A and B are shown apart, each in its own frame.
Chain A
């Protein structure tokens, strides 16, 4: 068993965009580092299949939310770096509003007490 609970596919897909945008808002980054950061931030609870990140990044690139350019890693390998565009920042703010609404709504329902109960709080 991997550490943590298995997060459903739909939720992983839905959360991928805001997560990637939010991580890129910390500064330019690349695929492996983004995966590492997600791992770190979630304390290892949120596990992605690494390869799946790339189609997400390419979609964001196509939609103009991030911009990619090829650079070099410390060891001189070709590496593709991504950074947030202005449009990406706007989208991040937009996503923040949406997730806040979802979050607040969930907290107002019995879902919240159920959540607390399962965590033994």
Chain B
């Protein structure tokens, strides 16, 4: 009986040792098997020589070598393993088997790709439709894909029926709004609704991402991280898609065929829809596997944008020239603020909240202050123009966005300054950003639903 108990202890120790080994990137599962066989042979050999189990195990492990040294040796031989592959095959399912998650994601991507073609069954053909057909697609395109992405997360998080209803609600409201409101075809409010609905729905996907717990600040921050990685994956897939489409046109033109119709009616629309879902799945699957890319880009571009804004301010002071208020100026400055808020958000998302304030934080504050200054000058010019020409949907939308971003950046600057002077923790900044996210959602919904009514569908 004592022997049985001993065996059990040995098994436990070996299991524990195996799990330590398994965590090393350079040592894969078959290697662990091989090393375990070695250890067991060694232990058996030492026991035969008269050692007890405990001693035999300890000596056996020691002879195999220190874990760090061992994994370094393995890494030298198997350097490809350090380049972590994205696990398309499930670790449990074994090599070469598709995980259930991959299959669900692929299925949803295909469904989204087909959904965009579904309206053609009702005669709404992209390629030969009039302006009404065109604006139908422009208003609705996010509704053909984002519900599938939200569905993927609802499935993955195992949401209950009540949660599913709450998740579905914004999509239903969005679909009703853009299709029942009698927009003037090609009008300003229609274009604005078409631009803001994807944003509103993207934040609705976040409810699914958080498994319904969208009030949780941690979940919101995770969704911000996810969104950044999703965007990067989408950009990479788009580049690959561009190469694919270019090749399609080229090889078909070589045999005297024009493949452009195939591109415009199938590959491009279906590819975009599928890619949006696939990028979501990849960003979700890789979160813990590969270093996040968005914070790295942030680190790279924060100093460059700060320099750009400083140079701009300096030039303006030096030459004394004001901002030339053109039609697109307001939108241009909105985009600048979006970039700055993005840089801020992603540097916050990747920062260790416990770390002491450092150089990069000061740089971040400098960037925010520069952006605020530049924007204040632009706003001044734009307000003058509005007081001269009155309100239009575009001007109000752009102005509203500007104000929302300025409030965010202004308060962030205050919080950053407090943090740098050690008057407050970093968590306050993080919390401010996540608490602010619903403001974007509310504004997007206002533009989609309220603007057409206020501006009489023009």
Q: Spell out A's residues near B (CB within 8 Å).
A: 30-32, 35-36, 49-52, 54-55, 58-59, 62, 73, 77-80
Contacts and interface: CB of A to CB of B under 8 A. Distances in A.
B42 interface: yes
Given A50-B42, A54-B31, A54-B74, A78 B37 contact: yes
A51 B37 CA distance: 12
A56 B307 CA distance: 52
B161 interface: no
From DSSP, what is the main secondary structure of chain B's interface residues? helix
Contacts of B69: 49, 51-52
Contacts of A49: 63-65, 69-70
Contacts of A36: 45
A1 to B, nearest CB: 15
Contacts, number: 60
Contacts of B216: none
A55 B45 CA distance: 23
B42 A55 contact: no
Interface of B: 30-31, 33-35, 37-38, 40-42, 45, 63-65, 69-70, 73-74, 76-78
A28 to B, nearest CB: 15
Given A32-B42, A50-B42, A80-B34, A58 B78 contact: yes
A80 B73 contact: no
B45 to A, nearest CB: 8
A51 B33 contact: no
Given A49-B65, A49-B69, A52-B65, A58 B77 contact: yes
A109 B342 CA distance: 71
Nearest to B63: A50
A36 B63 CA distance: 12
Contacts of B70: 49, 51-52
Contact of A55 (B33, B63, B76): B76
Given A49-B63, A49-B69, A54 B41 contact: no
Given A50-B63, A52-B69, A54-B34, 11 more contacts: A30-B37, A32-B41, A32-B42, A50-B42, A51-B38, A51-B73, A52-B73, A54-B35, A54-B74, A55-B74, A73-B37
A78 B33 contact: yes
A77 B40 contact: yes
Nearest to A56: B77
Given A50-B65, A58-B77, A32 B33 contact: no
Nearest to A34: B38
Contact of B37 (A52, A55, A77): A77
A80 B35 contact: no
Given A52-B70, A55-B76, A79 B37 contact: yes
27 contacts: A31-B34, A32-B37, A32-B41, A32-B42, A49-B64, A49-B69, A50-B38, A50-B42, A50-B63, A50-B64, A51-B38, A51-B65, A51-B69, A51-B73, A52-B70, A52-B73, A54-B35, A54-B74, A55-B73, A55-B76, A55-B77, A58-B31, A73-B37, A78-B33, A78-B37, A79-B37, A80-B33
